[in-house]
Homo-oligomer: A and B are copies of this chain.
């Protein structure tokens, strides 16, 4: 019965109550990470699907546009959160979720955090030079101290991130 009902839903492109709940769970989840709703929907649906899904499945079942699905899948691929399923004869590509937390966290760190940390380090470096131009000695000392503190923050973060990923993998 349920199998039948499920595949009926699949055909008309609607989500069952349970699927809707799971999808919403991931929508909330990715919002915390600063990612758009559609990304959460796509990952969530892949996560509870026993079979890999193609772009058109996502469009139909989630009721989102092809554009959203395409861009969402790209982002998820870049993050390493979905992979293409190997599917012999078919032309279209099917996707399955990465479900390993360590890998998910790794992708997020690599794509969303590292770049900011790196560009931040460059900016702080430039600021350090700018501070040397400051003529007032007391002000210069204060600014130097503050900038060193930020550098220290960033070094700490850089050290801790891989460790964090390691710990989450266990």
- A interface with B by C-beta (< 8 Å): 1-3, 6, 17-18, 21-22, 25, 28-29, 32, 34, 47-48, 50, 99, 101, 112-113, 116, 119-120, 123-124, 126-127, 130-131, 134-136, 139, 142-143, 146, 149-150, 152-153, 156-157, 159-160, 163-164, 167-168, 170
Contact = CB atoms under 8 A, between A and B. Distances in A.
Name A's interface SS: helix
B136 A2 contact: yes
A131 B168 contact: no
- Oligomer copy total: 2
Contact of A116 (B28, B130, B135): B28
A164 B164 CA distance: 7
